């Protein structure tokens, strides 16, 4: 049993966009939080709302550092493992780092957790569904990925390995794991630097630059506000019925990227023009996009009693207000 001096949560990747909102939520509920982050895509300013709290501690380091990670895991009661190489552009431009961080990092966290029986939430991704046309995606549906010569798919493959490994730790060793497949999550502090569409559109609109829609703009996504996503993560890891399960975490409000561009322009009062950029100009590496992506959220609703419901207009306004 954990001793009284332990932190309630270890959040790997806690200085990132989602991680920092998660830390704020946990601290607001009176929980103590230890963060491990290498500040590769995360940054210190994301933690401005946490760093002065005496129940908070940041350790700058990598989940690939096995002895460091093990030491921190032993100091906490629950792990939320978010540390990963993220963003489609990042993944294409840094293929080796992506694979190593996303596979070895999770393996190290699971091994450390198993050595002391600590429950772990593993952040997976809707990217796993790949080119499946079985929309809305159910957790037990088939996944359809592209060829290995297209680096994009390495991200989904790595996360699939993480899921297999986490489920294996549950089935073979009894380690309590919960796997959440995060759909497109947006909100204040998200950077457009790694390719994410909404912060990019907002930056472009606010600076009156062209809003760059890739492809024909008919591809769809469901966007969720980060506050609702971190709330779902905490509800799931605190729910014993979620153990050993894979759960979609996202909203069902599907919108095309072209319509998203129009909404951003309208709500921000921008005069930016909306331009269509062919995929081959937007991305290197013979890029393949997903046409539709939307979750089946039945399991999330059953386990947490709610699903993210912020609408896209309100989400855009929230980001613009920060
Ligand atoms: N996208 C776009 N313009 C941009 C960045 C992205 O049209 O400046 C498109 C991208 O091709 C994809 C969608 O927006 O169809 C969502 O991209 P993102 O990288 O945010 O997330 P994904 O859902 O692809 O992981």
Helices (H) and strands (E) in the chain, counts: 12, 13
- CA-proximal residue: ligand 1, atom 10 (nearest): 214
Ligand 1: does its nearest atom lie under 6 Å from the Cβ of 213? yes
The yes-or-no verdict on residue 88 having pLDDT over 80 is: no
Closest residue (by CA) to atom 3 of ligand 1? 213
Q: Which residues are catalytic?
A: 155
Tell me the three state secondary structure of residue 167: helix
Atom 4 (ligand 1) nearest CA: 197
For residue range 244-270, list pLDDT tens digits in order. 999 999 999 999 999 999 999 999 999
CA–CA gap between residue 63 and residue 299 (Å, rounded): 30
Q: How much is the pLDDT for 295?
A: 98
Q: How do strand 254-256 and strand 220-222 relate by DSSP bridges?
A: antiparallel
CA distance 247 to 199: 26
Ligand 1 within 6 A of 159 CB? Answer: no
CA of 291 from ligand 1 middle (Å) equals 11
Domains, the chain, ordered by start: 7-183+224-250+294-308 (3.40.50.720)
The more confident residue out of 74 and 1 is 74
Say what the pLDDT of residue 3 is: 47
Checking 112-116 for CB contacts under 8 A at 24+ apart, the result is 112/66, 112/69, 112/70, 112/73, 112/74, 113/73, 113/79, 113/169, 113/175, 114/169, 114/173, 114/175, 115/70, 115/73, 115/74, 116/73, 116/74
The dihedral region occupied by 26, where left means phi > 0, alpha psi between -120 and 50, and beta the remainder, is alpha
């Amino acid at each position: 049993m954990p001793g009284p001096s332990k932190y309630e949560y270890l959040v790997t990747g806690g200085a990132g966009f989602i991680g920092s909102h998660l830390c704020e939520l946990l601290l607001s509920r009176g929980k103590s939080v230890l963060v491990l982050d290498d500040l590769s895509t995360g940054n210190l300013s994301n933690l401005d709302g946490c760093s002065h709290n005496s129940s908070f501690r940041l350790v700058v380091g990598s989940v690939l550092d096995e002895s460091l990670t093990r030491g921190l895991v032993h100091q906490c009661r629950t792990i939320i493992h978010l540390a990963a190489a993220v963003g489609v552009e990042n993944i294409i431009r840094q293929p080796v780092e992506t694979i190593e961080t996303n596979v070895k990092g999770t393996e190290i966290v699971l091994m450390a957790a198993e050595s002391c029986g600590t429950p772990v939430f593993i952040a997976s991704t809707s990217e796993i569904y790949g080119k499946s046309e079985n929309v809305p995606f159910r957790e037990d549906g088939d996944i359809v990925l592209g060829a290995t010569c297209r680096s994009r798919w390495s991200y989904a493959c790595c996360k699939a390995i993480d899921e297999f490994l986490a489920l294996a730790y549950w089935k073979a060793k009894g380690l309590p794991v919960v796997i959440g497949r995060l759909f497109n999550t947006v909100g204040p502090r998200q950077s457009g630097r790694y390719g994410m569409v909404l912060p990019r559109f907002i930056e472009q609109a606010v600076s009156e630059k062209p809003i760059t829609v890739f492809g024909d703009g008919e591809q769809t996504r469901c966007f969720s506000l980060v506050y609702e996503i971190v709330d779902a993560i905490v509800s799931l890891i605190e729910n014993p019925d979620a153990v050993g399960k894979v759960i979609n975490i996202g909203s069902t409000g599907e919108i095309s990227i072209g319509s998203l561009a129009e909404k951003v322009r309208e709500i921000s009062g921008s005069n930016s023009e909306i331009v269509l950029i062919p995929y081959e100009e937007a991305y290197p590496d013979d890029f393949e996009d997903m046409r539709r992506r939307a979750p089946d959220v039945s399991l999330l609703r059953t386990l947490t009693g709610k699903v993210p419901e912020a609408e896209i207009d309100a989400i855009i306004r929230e980001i613009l207000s920060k």
